Amino acid sequence: MTPAPSVRAVPPAERWLRRFRPVAGPRLRLVCLPHAGGTAGAFHGWAATLPDDVELVAVQYPGRQDRFAEPCPRDMGELADTLAGALLPLFDAPVALFGHSMGAALAYEVTLRLETLHRAVPSRLFVSGQTSPTRPRRSRDLHLGDDDALLAGLRELGGMDEAVLADPELLPLLLPSFRADLRLIETYRPRLTAPVRAPVTACVGDADPDVPVADAAAWADLAATEFDVRVFPGGHFYLVDREAEVVADIAGRLAAVR
């Protein structure tokens, strides 16, 4: 009898992480966490700008692209628990985290878990386009609206290709992950708002309709050691229009990490 083919279990890190430029013996790993509805590919272009000794790693959430068949996350705490475990093997070298919008809140939660449960302190935490959890949220509850309201909100925030938003065949595939991610961040209420030991840099666009500079600067309340804020020209997705400037700024802040 021919034996049944075996199915290889995919390690969590292999499912969750995409290495856009693997580096042997990197000086530093930069792990990027995308926005609601985003994919790891949002950071693919950063590899060309980062220093050669920095390995670029991006997180791929379930419910999209090659993880389309998996259910979208429904609980920020559970998502952070899983992702912290997936990132832990990367700490054979210094690790910095950059999260944008929903990804910023998640990066903070992951950092808390890495530090308190695993004694792994990131070299720096970048929180981009997100209000500090210590401030009242300015949620528009887009996840509760119909598809037209959801699309209008996404267009206002920017950062999405209009051709994608106008494609009647793609939208039914994309909107469920958008809605699920927005629900995740719009209902996010942290159980604990504790300072992290990692140095924290808050990044924000000066014309972000949802995140005033003062709300981004309030991340200082959650930085136990070092904090600074970087204000870029632009809206919520300032990092798309000013990619080279943003990546150069990040690289400069990480230049001394060894």
Active site residues: 101, 236
Question: E strand or H helix at 255, and its extent?
Answer: none
What is the DSSP secondary-structure string of 165-202? HT-TTTHHHHHHHHHHHHHHHHT---S--PPBSS-EEE
Cβ(226)–Cβ(199) below 8 Å: yes
Token pair for 29: 């790993």
Cβ(31)–Cβ(96) below 8 Å: yes
Cα three-residue angle 174-180-184, rounded to 5 degrees: 145
First-to-last C-alpha distance (Å) of the chain: 56
